[in-house]
Structure 1
Amino acid sequence: MRPKSKVDLFAAIRRDSRTEGLSIRALARKYDVHRRTVREALSSAWPTPRRKPPPRSSRLAPFKPAVDQMLKADLDAPRKQRHTVKRIYDRLVDEFGMEGISYALVRDYVARRRPQIRMEEGRGPSQVFIPQSHRPGVEAEVDFGDVYVKLAGVMTKCSLFTFRLSYSGKAVHRIFASEGQEAFFEGHVHAFRVLGGVPVGNVRYDNLSSAVAQVLGFTRARVETERWTAFHSHFVHVPVSSRSVPTLVMASATS
């Protein structure tokens, strides 16, 4: 059987040459390859990587300057007078003699170039990446997710509690039968025991019904459930302000 990959083929050729003393011609016949391949395998254990062909020029290339010019003109045009993709396509066909190019090709180029041209002309912000910064042991996040567990031969939908530290990414998980408030509290206690303490900063939550009883109108302020208030007061509670999510600010766990 011929080896599956070229690396395996080279290894087999080198092994047979070393152990059986087969000639280049015999090795080429055995593995049904050209003698050049055998010589290459005997000279190096790693095949020479294939040369990547040069990228083919797009059939749209001759018309790209015209498309760019239309998009630049749209920057100063009223909104209702700006070019749609169909209008650009029709103009390329009628005014520039474009043939044999699909609408989808023009659409994809316009979708890619329109924001680029805005940035090139100083009309829009450039894309930047702002890395998050977290301090050790300060922030964490909590959530529930669905998980299926095989119980007595039946796949049963359960809830996976996750407590994840933002700095290290270390997470504590526990599976419960539901997302009830008891499971919510027990998951916290389990995570604190595993981690050996409680984050000293913010713990981020979604609007879990176990913690939030009501969201107030336009202010989006959260009213905590009484049991949740009593629970996190056990861990040096600081009252929650009207933020987008309920925030638990905690110090060290007490007994």
Structure 2
Amino acid sequence: MIDTYDLADDARRIGSRPRTIGEMFALEAPLLRPLPAEPFETGRWFTPRVNRYSLVSVRTNQYSVSVRLIGRRVRVLLHASELVVFDGRTEVARHERLLAKGGTRLELDHYLEALLRKPGALPGATALEQARAAGKFTPVHDAWWAAARKAHGEAEGTRALIEVLLLHRRLAHEHVAAGLAAALRAGALTADALALEARWSADTDTTAPEHASAQNPAGEVTSLTLRRLAQLPTDTRPLPSVAVYDQLLPSRRRRKGTR
């Protein structure tokens, strides 16, 4: 819209001047200095301290960071639509900016280490509710969690889920979700078994839920190595032979007899 107004203004004359704005700018343009090579930073810097709830306060709103940063002062770059948190020069968090006042933006991943020690705090956590609302904690997460709690008990089942959530730091969300679906069908209710399924999904670059059942109709957890070998092309090379080396054996015996 601004570009449209700017182009329309090129035809306007200021007072009784003989040239239009566009004509005068055409004369001045060659005299302008070039734009700087470095981009101009439009964000505003803040240096809040992380409170005991692992939150930083910026412009009346609060945003979460990792629990390991509690008590430390961090650098926050506030843009019009997002907020980036730095520990020194390392980016440690990125949030969509809250436009209203007094809001709180939580990232479930920032609290996982603390929840491993206190798994009972997860079911009622505000961070979990926000993760559900954002689509990061999907129904398949809930289904696997319910099955794990039924099999291992509340505390151990929840701790297994938290270990699964830690996989999101190394694998894409869709691959972990595909691993959850495959593990749930196979009855694999441990974090290690689910990690195999998630890595298999990442290696084959597929997120289709029916992929695992097509590869394994019986619904059993099979060896990841066997799955990979099954996709290799047939080896048509002849088997190796040591017959050439066997020809050296008689000559060695004759030399020994001569001695």
The answer to whether TM tops 0.5 is: no
Task: Give TM-score scaled by structure 2 length.
Answer: 0.21
TM-score w.r.t. the length of structure 1 is 0.21
More strand by share: 1
Flag the structure with higher helix content: 2
- Structure with greater contact order relative to length (CA < 8 Å, sep ≥ 6): 1
